[in-house]
Amino acid sequence: MRYTTCADCDKKVPLNDTFRYQERDYCTECLRIREERNELFDRDMMENIDHTVCANCGADNGATEYDRLAGLPVCGNCHRFYTNRPFPTWVKAFVLSIFLVGAAGISYNFNYIQAFIEMRRASGNLQKGDIESAAQEATEAARRLPHIQSLQNLSAFYRAMDHLMNERPGKAVIILDGLVRRNPAEKTYQKYLLHAQAGQAFNNRKYANFYRYNKSLLELTPDDAMTLLGVASGAACLYAATGKNHYRREATMLIRKGIELIKPEEKERAMQYIERIEYRLKTRKIITQKEYLKLKANQEGSI
Amino acid sequence: MIIPGILISIATFPGVIIHEAAHMFFCKLRRVAVLDVKFFQFDMNTTGYVIHTDPEDFTSSFLISVGPFIINSLLCIVICFPAVLPYTVFDDLSWFSMFLIWLGVSIGMHAFPSNQDASELWRKARAELKNRNLLVILSFPLVIIIYVANILSVLWFDVIYGLSIGILLPGYLFENFL
């Protein structure tokens, strides 16, 4: 520790307890007296710093000066403290709790995250044409979140599509009927219900119903070629069953209309459908698509 | 509507604490002495501060100044992400998710460094320009963004930023990419 002599009282005082004024050192008491007497004419005074005493903890280093930190002398311990200042315990606890809350958030919403991933996979599978896998993923997602009605609806819809695509229209009707009852404004469900009902009616040889369901479908999608051909198919079935010529004329007219509306991407499917309808009109035989393809294959084989 | 900054800081206090903790974290990481720190205080002008010595290199200056922007933004996204998904995708929002969104947005709101941090970074960047440090080139537009963001905070820009990265960004990603 360093000492200096006060220019007024002549006492030897620690350097840290003095100020430098007009090139002389003064203790705080004498400086205060001067201030009371208005004898401080120049405000240019500086607090003296003893670089042998730690500015933080006051540790005395004898005659040796400490290293400086931000211009002030600090001992080794204090230097280490400032350089590696610890976070207060409450801050550590606070930050830890933030991380724990974040982790809890992920855990709490994990079912949503998984359901989201499953629905994305279902959508991808649907785009690839793998409706069975899409239905499975959608069902799994719906199982995780039973309270989300939109997810339950989507899962049911995928399952219905799976049944429809795999020629199980009866099972599709059950699911789609429930969907339409719960969501009367949703046109997509109505449309596919009619598809399924038409398919079921055809399988059950209820051709009047088959025709009627296709006509109802046409009201929902009047400019769709495949729907028009569906009605033509129904009319052809009724012609095949009853022999009434007005059904034949209706079928022929609808085929002509349908051809005008065929989109390029559905051309092959539409032309195959038209072939079957024309076969039905020509022979008055009602056969399924599978049976028709088999017959055609046999005919081509025998040529 | 002008609401006193102290009230906003109290309502979003996690962001203030994380902001100062981010500054201090990078100080410790870069072995820069922290002379004083206040993680939160009830003061109209300054709700928190970190006083540190002058870093010896520009990278330390950059990280210490920009630290809150990195850490607060990241935490905001990570905390809000699982909470936003149920609402954005399934239209389902629980109380816990709302709490998470408040926490995340509070943290995100305090991502921007102060004007003081920005001016310090600008001063250091100018001095470092001759060394052709890549971070220096990044610093100049960043400082301008910080100044503009702090000016626009009277128009709730900090809230908009927190909401954007916490809610809008995840929502957009869920709808279009994920």
Tokens of A208: 């009047």
pLDDT at B2: 66
pLDDT at B72: 96
Q: Chain B residue closest to A123 (CA)?
A: B178
pLDDT at B1: 61
Dihedral of the alpha carbons of B17, B22, B27, B30, in degrees to the nearest 10:
160
Query: Tokens 């060394």 identify what position?
Result: B131
What is the crossing angle of helices A89-108 and A110-128, to 10°? 40
What residue type is assigned to position A295 of the chain? L
Give the residues of chain A that fall short of pLDDT 70.
42-43, 301-303
- Write the ipTM: 0.90
Residue of higher predicted confidence among B177 and B104: B104
pLDDT at A116: 92
What is Dmax (Cα atoms) for chain B?
A: 55
pLDDT at A302: 63
CB-neighbour burial class of residue A23 (10 A; exposed 0-12, middle 13-18, buried 19+): exposed
Q: Min CA distance, A46 vs chain B (Å)?
A: 22
Instruction: Tally Cβ neighbours within 10 Å of residue B120.
Output: 18
Chain A contact for B101 (CB, 8 A cutoff): no
Question: What is the residue-wise DSSP string for A245-290?
Answer: HHHHHHHHHHHHHHHHH--GGGHHHHHHHHHHHHHHHHH-----HH
pLDDT at B178: 63
Give the C-alpha separation, B52 to B55, whole Å.
8
Q: Chain B residue closest to A80 (CA)?
A: B33
Within 8 A of A54 by CB-CB distance, chain B residues are none
A-B CB pairs within 8 A amount to 89
Helix then strand then coil, % of chain B, to nearest 5? 75, 5, 20
pTM tops 0.80, yes or no? no
Mean pLDDT of chain B: 90
Strand A45-47 and strand A18-21: the pairing is antiparallel
CA distances from A72 to A55, A61, A90, A171, B32 (A): 6, 14, 29, 85, 15
pLDDT at B156: 86
Subunit contact B90:A87, Cβ cutoff 8 A: no
Within 8 A of A85 by CB-CB distance, chain B residues are 24, 27-28, 33-34, 37
Split at pLDDT 50, 70, 90, the class of B166 is very high
Question: Does position B77 have pLDDT exceeding 60, yes or no?
Answer: yes
Within 8 A of A116 by CB-CB distance, chain B residues are 85, 89, 174, 178
Chain B contact for A71 (CB, 8 A cutoff): no
